[in-house]
Amino acid sequence: MEPYLFPVVFVAVFAAFALSASAGFGGSLILVPTLALALGTKSGVALAALLLAANNLVKVFAYRSSLPYRKALPVIALVMVGTFLGAKLFVSAPEQWVTIAVIVGFALAFLVESLDLTRFRRIGSPLLAFASGATSGFSGTSGPLKGLAVRGLDLDRMHLVGALSLVSLVGDVTKTAVWTDAALLTGGDYLVALACVPLMLIATFLGRRFNNKIGERGYTGLFWTVMLGYTGRLLAGL
């Protein structure tokens, strides 16, 4: 990576961590395209997964009092399976396929968002969970599908953020394990993650504090703003 890109990348990392801590998800919205541009698609997606996995550990600790393990377990399990399969495919896929998959993933999310899912949220949640994992494992990001899957659990604001943090942690750890085994992630990448720990701690503290202040109505607006952000990335890529 060119030296002049370091400040840009670290600003993007901090912004991604703060957004993720506020909404429970959304970090990949900022981190995946930034690192993909700086390092190349595969290297950038892999490093983003490692950084987000480490950050999700901090988030889970920060929201430890509002983690709905039992309710979120089916979504977590399906995300893990989908992510594992998608990450395995990512290893052998040509880089151009991965780039196209990112665009296709957002197109799928856009179509899902165009449907009226309010009556079928609980029924569709498992399918969305598996699809979000597979999309995340292959393209590095699954924000819209993951958001819809977890929102289908009908949780209050704090437990929704806790569930999103758990699901994100499992997905990112699964990707990180597969890509480390495939040598897409090296010791140098783990040193970068270690250097980012202070940013994770500060950003998570600020993000959680912001979440506490905005209330249920404000969080609903934040949630759908993140979803619109993913849609905006879709439109920009077309």
Nearest Cα neighbor of 48 from 29, 70, 63, 73 is 29
pLDDT above 60 for 118:
no
What would the pLDDT profile of 215-232 be if each residue is shown by its tens digit? 878 887 887 787 677 666
Identity of the residue numbered 186: T
89 HSE (CA, 13 A, CB side): 17
pLDDT (average), residues 142-157: 73
Q: What is the pLDDT of residue 41?
A: 77
pLDDT category at 200 given cuts 50, 70, 90 is very high
Look up the pTM and report it.
0.75
The whole-angstrom distance between residue 174's C-alpha and the CA centroid of its chain comes to: 12
- What residue has token string 């949780």? 155
What would the pLDDT profile of 59-77 be if each residue is shown by its tens digit? 999 988 888 888 888 888 8
DSSP SS3 for 50:
helix
Q: Are 44 and 36 in contact (CB under 8 A)?
A: yes
> What are the start-end ranges of the H helices in 41-156?
41-62, 69-92, 95-114, 121-139, 143-151
Tallying the residues shown for the chain, one arrives at 238
pLDDT category at 234 given cuts 50, 70, 90 is low
Q: What is the torsion angle, in degrees rounded to the nearest 10, for the CA atoms of residue 111, residue 153, residue 200 and residue 223?
A: 50
Structure tokens at 31: 């981190």
Q: What is the pLDDT of residue 203?
A: 92
pLDDT category at 89 given cuts 50, 70, 90 is confident
Q: Are 35 and 11 in contact (CB under 8 A)?
A: no
pLDDT category at 132 given cuts 50, 70, 90 is low
Query: What is the residue-averaged pLDDT of the chain?
Result: 78
